[in-house]
Amino acid sequence: MGLIQSYGLRLRRKRLHLRAWRGRRALSPVADRTRAIRPGAILLVSVLRNERIRLPYFLTYYRDLGVDHFLIVDNGSDDGSADWLAAQPDVSLWSASGSYAAARYGMDWATRLHRRHCHGHWCLTVDADEFLIYPFCETRPLRALTDWLDASQVRSFPAMLLDMYAQETAAASYREGQDPFASLQWFDSGNYTIRPNRAYGDLWIQGGPRARTFFAAAPAEAPALNKIPLVRWQRGYAYLRSTHMLLPRGLNLTYERSGGEKPSGCLLHAKFLDTFADKVHEEAARGEHYAAGREYRAYREGLGAVPTLWCRASERYINWRQLEILGLMSKGNWA
């Protein structure tokens, strides 16, 4: 990369931080417990709206994994999410009543929290329907992974978003506190395209059940599945587009260019529960998501025509080792 391009990316990063600083008044503290954050704590940042039914399992899952403190922005929920979160002793909660789209789809709010509270910490940035799995996650806590990344001088850890779904639509019913993957047990094992993004150094991944159903006529418009959710955060870092890519650019180089493999994980995506239809109609009407809600409009149009995402090529999830064999994640040289 030339000096002019490098300077341009540095300038863009400064602009992202300036946006977050200018929008700081949009965040109102509801329950600020950040003084309880200790050096070395593993943090989780999330921006959400109307996810009350998911929250008990979401927090339990990440607590069990090893997250020490949650930094959450609630964007105008009216289902009790804010009240429930405010009562959790390891949650710091902010309210943001402004436009999700105008806040760079929530990333301006997340950037503000990253800059103020995450410097020097390993920070996991995920949505309420994303559940990280990584090599040896059944027997090793998240801190074992971050300690190994520190020892290896690795600053960022990638995870492919893996859409999970039920064999039958009716099987995807969900109750508060339930493990969503008791119902969502299936995934696409090989329906993916990967291409390098030369501008930012990341790998752009698309495919899976959303590409073959809701975006079958325009697969290039299907949602991106590449994410970098776990980062050893420094004050000057910023996500560029959701958690798909970061600045500085070097944080996106999460794969080996000449042989070998770097470790990676997957984010099991619990989107397709029986709550999905209501969410689709709400977000399609609000138009607050990327491209004025184009993704949610595609879901709404496809819901009637596609009763199930399951097909004969679907594979039933077993564990992380299965995903490594399929090439969807890797333990690299972490033994």
The pLDDT score that the predictor gives to residue 5 is 80
CA-angle at 166, arms to 161 and 172, nearest 5°: 105
Q: What is the predicted pLDDT for the residue at 294? A: 65
Sorted by sequence, the CB contacts under 8 Å of residue 305 that are 6+ apart come out as none
| Contact predicate 54/132, CB 8 Å | no
| Positions in the chain short of pLDDT 70 | 1, 170-171, 257-260, 281, 283-297, 300-307
- Asked if residues 97 and 75 have their Cβ atoms less than 8 Å apart, the reply is yes
3-state secondary structure of 217: coil
Dihedrals φ, ψ of 49, to 5°?
A: -150, 125
Q: What is the largest CA-CA distance in the chain?
A: 56
Extract the tokens encoding 290: 């990327």
12-28 residue pLDDT tens: 999 999 999 998 999 99
Q: Measured in Å, how far apart are the chain's first and last C-alpha atoms?
A: 34
Give me the sign of the Cα torsion angle 113, 114, 119, 120.
positive
Structure tokens at 86: 């405010």
pLDDT tens sequence across 245-294? 999 999 999 987 655 579 999 999 999 988 877 777 676 666 665 554 56
| pLDDT for position 219 | 87
Q: What is the pLDDT of residue 16?
A: 95
